Amino acid sequence: MIALTSTLSAAQKAGGQTLYKVTFTKTGETTRVYGSDTTNRIPTGFPLKHYRDDWLQTAELTVENRDGNLTALDLIGYQALIEYGYQTSAGDEYQGSDVLKCISQGFVSGYGEQLVIFGLAGRGNQMAEDRASSAYEPDSANKDTVKTIVTAIVTATMPPFNHCEVLTLTWELTAYQEDELANVFKPADFLRVHKDQSRLEVLKDVLSNTGLDGRFEGDGALHIFQTFARPWTAATGIDLNEIAKPSVPSDWAANTAYSVNDRRKPTTQNGYYYVCSTAGTSGGTEPSWARKDGDTVSDDGVIWTCRDTNYVYTCTTTGTTGGTEPVWTYAKNDTMSDSGVVWTLQYDYDYDDVASGHNFWRKGVTRRLVIPNKITVRSVPGAKTIYSGNATDARSNALLPIEEVTYRTLVSNAEAADIALAKIDRAARDAETGSGFSMLNIGQEIHDYILITDSWEGDACRGRIRSLTRYAGPGVFKMTFSFGIRLAKSEMGSLRSLRLAEIEPVPPWAWEMLDYIDAVVELHKKDISDLYSIIKQMQIGVPDWHVSRNLRIPVI
C-alpha cells in the first residue's frame, strides 16, 4: 500500500480541492505538464481515464488545444508520470501513481473544441509486446530457482529476451517466504520459452507456481511480493508482515456439544464457515446456514455466527506459532496472540458510509464459482520417482467439478501440494467476489487488502483489489475497483468471465432515457438515427454535462 501523509489523508476524507496532472519527460527535451491548473488543461467532459490490473496499465489523457500550443508537439515515446493530489494545509500535495509511456497522440477538432488525445501504456504492456527472439529449453538438471528465472526475465539476461529493455526489479519477500517456493522450486525442463512468446506471459507462468504477485509502482520498478495467505499451521516460524488465514474447520455434527469459538463448516460447503458464539449442543438435523458475514443461526442449543473465507491476518510481532490455533478476531485492527506471534486484522484501506471515513457510492458483492476448482500437480510420467499433490476449492468443486492437472519437475509430495495450493489460491482470488465505486483514493494500489462496510445493507465485503479504474478531471474525481480479474474479450465466452453488471452505476436519468428510446423504437419499429432529437423530445431534464461527459454526445 501507499502510505499517504497525514495531511493528504485528511484532505482526501474531507473531500477537499482535488489535483491531478501528467508530466511528460524525455532526456534532452522540455518537460511538459498537463493537469488541473496548467495552461492547457484537461477539459470538462473528458476526464483522464486510468486503468490498472495485475500487470497492465493504460490511460487516455485529453488536453485542450484551443491556443494551438500542442499542434506542433510530438510527445510519442515520452515517459508520462500520473499524479493525483489535494490542496492541503501543507500546500499542494501530489502522490505519484504509474510511470507510463506515450504510445499515441491524436488531434480532434469540432463542436467548438480543439483537443489532443494521448494514449499511454505501462511497462507491463511493454512486456506483453516483448517477444522471445529464440526458444529456451533448460534440461532436467537445471538448478535455476523461480527467483533466479524471474530476475533473468525482468532484467533481460535470459537469452530470448536479451534484446529487450532492462527493467528494475524489487523483491519484497520475508526470510521465510524466500525459503518457500521462490528460492526452492526449480522448474528445470518444465520451463519452456517458445520463439515469439511474450515476456509477460513467461513471467506470469513462472510466478503462477509460487503464489507470488507483481506490481509496477510509481518508482517505475516491478515489485514482487506475496499476497498468498497460507492456512495457519502449528509450530511455524513467522516473519513480520507475513499473512495467514484460518485453517479449514471440520464438518458440523449433530447432537454434539460445542464451546464458544469452536469453528465448523456445513457438511455441504457453501463458501462460509461458522463460529460458535453461544455454547450448547447441536440439534439432530443440520440448520439452515446463514450466508452473510456476521449473521447468526440457531442450532438447537448452539448459536453460530457466519464468517466468510476472505479474512486474512498480518504478523505484527514475529515469532513461532503455537501448538493450537488461536481464536481469530473479526474486528478491524484487533490483535490476537499465537504463542510468540501476534496477528492483526488490518486493512490497507477501508471504505464506509460515515462522515469521517473514505466514502463509497456503491458496492457490490458477487458469489461466483472458482474455476478450475481442483488443481493436481504431478511428476512427469516416467520420472524416476513420482510425486503428487492437490488442492481443492471444496464448495465450487462440489457444484461443478473442474480439475486442472499440471506436470512439473518435483522433489517431494510436499512441494507438489504447495504448488497446487498456490494455484488454487490464485484461482479463488481471480474469481470476482465484489466491486466498488467511490471517490478516488490516491493511495489505492492493486493487490491492496481492503474492507467496505455498508451500514445501509448491514454487511461488509473484503478482499484484494485486482482491477482499478480512475477518472480525474473538472468535477470528476472517482474510481471503480473489483476484487476479481477483468478478462480479455477473447475470454468473454468462458465460464470464468461471467459478470453480473458493470461496476459503475448508471445515472437515473440515463435509465429513463433508455426506457424512452426503447418505447420509441417499439412504437415506430424503426432505427434511431438521430439520438439528439430523441433527447430533445424527452424533456426529462438531462444535465448537459452528463450528456457530454458520460455519453460523449456534443450538446449544441
Residues 441-467 as b or e (16 or more Cβ within 10 Å = b): bbbbbbbbbbbbbbeeeebbbbbbbbb
Q: How many residues does the chain have?
A: 556
Q: How confident is the model at residue 497 (pLDDT cuts 50, 70, 90)?
A: very low
Q: In this structure, what DSSP letter does residue 549 have?
A: H
Q: Select the highest-mean-pLDDT range: 230-239, 256-265, 498-507, 532-541.
A: 256-265
Closest CA to 113 of 63, 186, 59, 56: 63
Question: What is the pLDDT at residue 496?
Answer: 47
How much of the chain, in percent, has pLDDT values that exceed 70? 87
Q: Check: CB of residue 222 under 8 Å from CB of residue 215.
A: yes
Q: How confident is the model at residue 489 (pLDDT cuts 50, 70, 90)?
A: very low
Q: For the purposes of burial, counting CB atoms within 10 Å of the CB of 36, is it exposed (0-12), middle (13-18) or buried (19 or more)? A: buried
Q: Using a cut of 0.85, tell me whether the model's pTM lies above it.
A: no
Question: What is the pLDDT at residue 456?
Answer: 86
Q: How confident is the model at residue 287 (pLDDT cuts 50, 70, 90)?
A: very high
* pLDDT > 60? residue 543: no
* pLDDT > 80? residue 301: yes
Distance, CA of 15 to CA of 486 (rounded, Å): 29
Question: What is the pLDDT at residue 230?
Answer: 87
Question: What is the pLDDT at residue 504?
Answer: 44
Question: What is the pLDDT at residue 258?
Answer: 97
* pLDDT > 70? residue 146: yes
- pLDDT tens digits, one per residue of 381-397: 888 899 999 999 988 99
Question: What is the pLDDT at residue 335?
Answer: 96
Q: Check: CB of residue 77 under 8 Å from CB of residue 102.
A: yes
Closest CA to 310 of 234, 368, 251, 391: 368
Question: What is the pLDDT at residue 490?
Answer: 40
- pLDDT tens digits, one per residue of 333-382: 999 999 999 999 999 999 988 877 788 888 888 778 899 999 999 998 88
* pLDDT > 90? residue 260: yes
Question: What is the pLDDT at residue 364?
Answer: 85
Q: Check: CB of residue 218 under 8 Å from CB of residue 99.
A: yes
Q: Check: CB of residue 466 under 8 Å from CB of residue 483.
A: yes
Mean per-residue pLDDT over the chain, rounded: 86
Q: How confident is the model at residue 522 (pLDDT cuts 50, 70, 90)?
A: low
Residues 504-534 as b or e (16 or more Cβ within 10 Å = b): beeeebeeebeebeeeeeeeeeeeeeeeeee
Q: How confident is the model at residue 514 (pLDDT cuts 50, 70, 90)?
A: low
Q: Mean pLDDT throughout 161-187?
A: 88
Cite the beta strand spans of 399-475 per DSSP E.
403-408, 434-439, 449-454, 459-464, 467-473
Q: Mean pLDDT throughout 517-545?
A: 50
Q: Mean pLDDT throughout 267-277?
A: 93
Of 214-223, 289-298, 349-358, 376-385, give the lowest mean pLDDT range: 349-358
Closest CA to 45 of 556, 552, 555, 447: 552
- pLDDT tens digits, one per residue of 53-106: 889 999 999 999 988 889 999 999 999 999 999 999 999 999 998 899 999 999
